[in-house]
Amino acid sequence: MKLAEEFLVKADEKAFDLEHRTIINHNIGKYNTAVDRGLSRFENLDNSKKRAHVIKWRVMENLDKFLPEFESNFQRRGGKVIWANDANEAQKEILNIINRAGGKSVIKSKSMTTEEIHINEFLEKHGIESLESDLGEYIVQLLGQAPYHIVTPAMHLSKEDIAKLFHEKFGTPPDASPEQLTQKARELLREKYLQADIGISGGNFLIADTGSIALTENEGNARLCTTFPKIHIAVVGIEKVIPSMTDLDLYWPLLASHGTGQNLTVYNTILSGPRQVHETDGPEEMYVILLDNGRTSLLAQKEQRQGLYCIRCGACLNACPVYKNVGGHTYNTTYSGPIGAVITPHLKGMKDFKHLSYASSLCGKCSEVCPAKIDIHKMLLLNRRDAAAQHDNTKTEEMGWKLWNTGMKKRSRMDMFGGKLKNFFLKYFFRKVWGKYRSMPEIAPKSFSKQWQERNKEQN
């Protein structure tokens, strides 16, 4: 089954799964309440968004300068930078680091880039245990699932679902409270931080002028992953760079308020290399893997490179009516929702993933809520344009729209076939696509234009 067909099947299932919709609407409803409260604390939110947009614009226009600046400053403090063109290169480099150190276990903090390169599955194939330490990521890893949401990996699960999972896996009470479940996870994970040979994280921002990585989180697990193990590997997309440490006073509050409704997340960490001589904790070795994996392809698209401005807050997912109905797993990509529909066709290929850009009502809510002022709905239209221009759509689809275009351009062609024949086409050709859950419209025997012409003839 093709990816586009699979998307339609999964979307059909999820859109009419009432239990799924109840959980999502409840969780996103709580999010909306918190975020509205958080955004109200900005004195001038629109101005902050404009600043974030302009800084990201400046970075993308000068990425060839900011990335070497970060590399130089990071290496000055003993860190090592590895450039990875794609997922395979990133996987091999990580495996080489682990093998050189004789490592057998990895503890991870939440990271979308490591999801992007499927590092857990890769390491397990090579006999290396890789464990997620973020509670949401830990839960979906136990289920053998991918994260459902950019910020909230287990958003699709109720507390009853998680209690049942922990009861089956660890023998906790089937009606355990969220506090009890969290305590159990803490007990299970605490020893793993001490035993792990390697710590792997992502990075919310790369700070060019200091050569630092900025991490933001709510659980403290990222700090444990990056300080207890002797080796720390950070996998970060090349678009995450920002010019200066001073830019964090803009991006950290924007990310926290749009992601969870907080002024700031609980733990905000800046890492500038391995442990120095005068420092008491931190890794002995620190590596940053700068991941391309299709990002330069998107950068080359002058009109769509805005997609690289994304700070991964998840606001557009929570605002999107399509996402709220079909859910995150339906997209079958690392980055779901509107921003995923914009960037995935460029990261993974327009031919296979162009359908995601059509999975939108184009209501514009995603663009409205974006903290970096990305014109997401415009980017979706540009992706559709490119898919058509490159003939990535099916021959049947191209022929169908060509006939539609020919007919719609001239009134006489539209009236050439009467209502009876048009209703026949609707009933037998379009019902499967459009009419599964709705009644098909009934077209009048004669169009209004035809009736008007006949009426004028009679009067004359």
**95 and 219 belong to one structural domain:** yes
Among 130-134, 396-400, 429-433, the range scoring the smallest mean pLDDT is 429-433
**283 and 400 belong to one structural domain:** no
Q: Decide: pTM greater than 0.75.
A: yes
Which residue stretches of 335-446 are H helix?
337-348, 350-353, 365-369, 376-389, 395-408, 411-414, 419-425, 431-434
Which is nearest to 328 in space by CA: 150, 162, 159, 165? 150
Which is nearest to 359 in space by CA: 332, 386, 380? 380
Residue finishing a domain among 260, 293, 326: 293
Own/partner pairs, 15-23, CB within 8 angstroms, 24+ separation: 15/325, 15/326, 16/437, 20/156, 20/327, 21/324, 21/325, 23/155, 23/156, 23/157, 23/158
Residue finishing a domain among 293, 311, 346: 293
Residue 438 DSSP class? S
Residues paired with 242 in a beta bridge: 207
**248 and 107 belong to one structural domain:** yes
Q: How far does CA 334 lie from the centroid of its chain?
A: 6
Write out pLDDT tens, residues 312-338. Answer: 999 999 999 999 999 999 999 999 999
**Parallel, antiparallel or unpaired: strands 205-207 and 241-242:** parallel
Cα separation values, 178 from 64, 163, 181, 427, Å: 46, 8, 5, 51
**287 and 423 belong to one structural domain:** no
Is there a domain that residue 113 lies in?
A: yes
Mean pLDDT, all residues of the chain? 93
Write out pLDDT tens, residues 136-154. Answer: 999 999 999 999 999 999 9
Distance of alpha carbon 146 from alpha carbon 132, whole angstroms: 12
Write out pLDDT tens, residues 173-220. Answer: 999 999 999 999 999 999 999 999 999 999 999 999 999 999 999 999
Is there a domain that residue 184 lies in?
A: yes
Sequence-distant (≥ 6) Cβ neighbours of residue 324 within 8 angstroms:
21, 24, 25, 28, 318
Is there a domain that residue 401 lies in?
A: yes
Is there a domain that residue 308 lies in?
A: no
Helices (H) and strands (E) in the chain, counts: 24, 10
Mean pLDDT of 353-374: 95
Confidence at residue 421, expressed as pLDDT on a 0 to 100 scale: 80
DSSP of 99-116: HHHT--EEEE---HHHHH
Stretch (H or E) spanning 290: strand 285-291
8 Å CB contact between 343 and 415: no
Domain that holds residue 89: 41-293
Distance of alpha carbon 121 from alpha carbon 125, whole angstroms: 6
More confident residue, 367 or 456: 367
Distance of alpha carbon 315 from alpha carbon 31, whole angstroms: 10
**277 and 153 belong to one structural domain:** yes
Is there a domain that residue 215 lies in?
A: yes
**285 and 409 belong to one structural domain:** no
Distance of alpha carbon 262 from alpha carbon 155, whole angstroms: 18
Is there a domain that residue 130 lies in?
A: yes
Is there a domain that residue 403 lies in?
A: yes
Confidence at residue 49, expressed as pLDDT on a 0 to 100 scale: 98
- Whether 451 shows a pLDDT value over 90: the answer reads no
Domain count, the chain: 2
**52 and 191 belong to one structural domain:** yes
Percent of the chain surpassing pLDDT 70: 99
Mean pLDDT of 22-37: 93
Residue finishing a domain among 259, 293, 327: 293
Distance of alpha carbon 405 from alpha carbon 386, whole angstroms: 18
Q: Domain holding 69: CATH number?
A: 3.40.50.10420
Token pair listed for 380: 């979706």
Distance of alpha carbon 135 from alpha carbon 162, whole angstroms: 11
Distance of alpha carbon 71 from alpha carbon 188, whole angstroms: 37
Is there a domain that residue 147 lies in?
A: yes
Write out pLDDT tens, residues 430-449. Answer: 777 776 777 888 888 888 88
